[in-house]
Amino acid sequence: MIDAAELIDNDFLRQFELKIDNHLAKIEYSLQERKIFLTKLIIPEEINDDNFCKEFLAAVFEQIEERNLSVVPTSPEIAKFVRSNRKYKRMLPVGLRI
């Protein structure tokens, strides 16, 4: 589902965006120094399923990792994703536990 779509980092609105079937899924963020705070996950009901959510978050984390940033998940859904995916825990800042 996500393979055909393009993940966009909208700097102006400070959000990652993914458009699927005329619906926009997004993750709002705040960037401070070398840390990115993922503050809000918004997925339209029409495309909201567990697989989509996991794929979307994985794609966002891969893009953040390429930029060499630490991740601070402040949204409960995103924190849950990090807890269940050990490989992304290494992206947390030193001393932060979820």
The predicted structure's pLDDT at residue 64: 96
State the CATH number of the domain containing residue 49: 3.40.630.30
Give the phi and the psi of residue 59 in degrees, each rounded to 5: -65, -40
> 31 lies in a domain?
yes
Indicate the pTM of the whole model. 0.90
> 66 lies in a domain?
yes
> 94 lies in a domain?
no
Q: Output helix, strand, coil percentages for the chain, rounded to the nearest 5.
A: 35, 35, 35
The predicted structure's pLDDT at residue 3: 59
> 27 lies in a domain?
yes
In tens, the pLDDT along 65-92 reads 999 999 999 999 999 999 999 899 999 9
Q: Which domain holds residue 49?
A: 7-89
For the chain, the domain total comes to 1
> 96 lies in a domain?
no
> 97 lies in a domain?
no
> 98 lies in a domain?
no
